[in-house]
Amino acid sequence: MTEQQITVRARDCGEASYRVLSIGEVLIHSGREWTVVGLFMGADPTTGELEEYLILEGSGTEERVRAD
């Protein structure tokens, strides 16, 4: 499988955005499993607010969500 990298705002990562993340952690974003490979701070282009961004890497494996 091909590895993919994406950059997302930390606050867009659901529960993970409410705690400090570190490189190497695995999280679920958009129904897929991603590994945090980078962290940086930047200004949101729309609001100008300082935001935490994550660089995520994944292999395209989808997380299976069970309805119990």
| pLDDT at residue 56 is higher than 90 | yes
Q: Is the pTM of this model over 0.85?
A: no
Residues 10-50: tens digit of each pLDDT: 888 877 667 778 899 999 888 899 999 999 999 988 888 99
In this prediction, residue 66 carries a pLDDT of 41
| 8 A C-beta contact, residue 23 and residue 37 | yes
At residue 61 the predicted structure's pLDDT band, cuts being 50, 70 and 90, is low
